[in-house]
Structure 1
């Protein structure tokens, strides 16, 4: 597949429509509204759109998004990794997007609206040019140690598509890990120790030290952000935790505390 595929949600079910739009490299699709207050529309030639709000262009190996709004950013969510998203600032033209499966979200009169984009597989480096597995990685962490399970628990809400702002509290991490045999008697002090060990030692070079002063939650927020940014913790690491958390716990951990 070389073409970029764009799918609008169905009017009633919000699921992708049956007839997607196909864009070969170099072609552009325009999106906007026929009339104010109507649902978002995407066309290949801009016909029947009176209020154009943006454009998508298919390129070789990536695609671009143009934001015609003067005040609102557009958000591109990576549907393959819910912790990743890109904001395209107002007035930005042809912002390059590398996500293979994405959802573009734009403001609407009745709440946010959007569409899905399916890009061709990316071009990869020839296997003979790949570095050997022994090459140094961002951080040398032992995935079998307790501190790594604590780090995964910190990242879990974002990996499962929760809020990019909130992080679990120490008490929530204790509750989340306690079903594991090695954490059956875990305490808050023990979790705090592992968090401090990571922040002051293993991951210190990757943390933004400017945010430390005056913020009790700084270590947890900084560790989760760094671990996800550098892919030290990935979705596959969720298998180190007990079964998926309850809906109540997930909502609580994925929202910023008041």
Structure 2
């Protein structure tokens, strides 16, 4: 199972994303893909980027980055973190990245190049273990079926999607992206159509939704994706009425 998803700057969907299983690595840089290139490589076609500028390695639940350039510092930003970021100095190897979503930014001869890395997998200790979640046996952790963090923006988007049906209208039409944006703006002033849509797409990846058949035919892909998300969330109680508190900036009861 993959644990890291690398999203190029101009990605148009899953076909252009690169998935890494634990232990796999990906290089990035000016070097083109093809014969002689590493099996996993993200080309950054800019004259100001080294041929092999860096390396990303997936672990079970997080990832590391190595800066293989001689002079440039890289920055890994948390898009949800109000400026939270880490710096990766030239030559630094295997710097751990703690963010679930990250934007890697490289300076390149006056330009800033970027790509995203998603780490949607979360593992948790099994609370039913004989001696509690950490019994010192080294037993393998239990991977949750639906690893959702209720403090993240994507959970607010999911709650807003589910709100009409949780308010007692089980067959209510789902809110549009514009309606979700308006609903969240009091607690998320920077919310916009693109950022809400990004979170819908990320939820589909995180919850491992299968692509609806109409997507292959250019049909109503977004509506099908939203319907699938809400159906899954309500069927397995991933969101309940108490969780709607996040839409007002409060913690769920």
| TM-score calculated relative to the size of structure 2 | 0.42
TM-score (norm 1): 0.42
Which fold has the larger relative contact order, with Cα–Cα distance below 8 Å and residues 6 or more apart in sequence? Answer: 1
Larger radius of gyration: 1
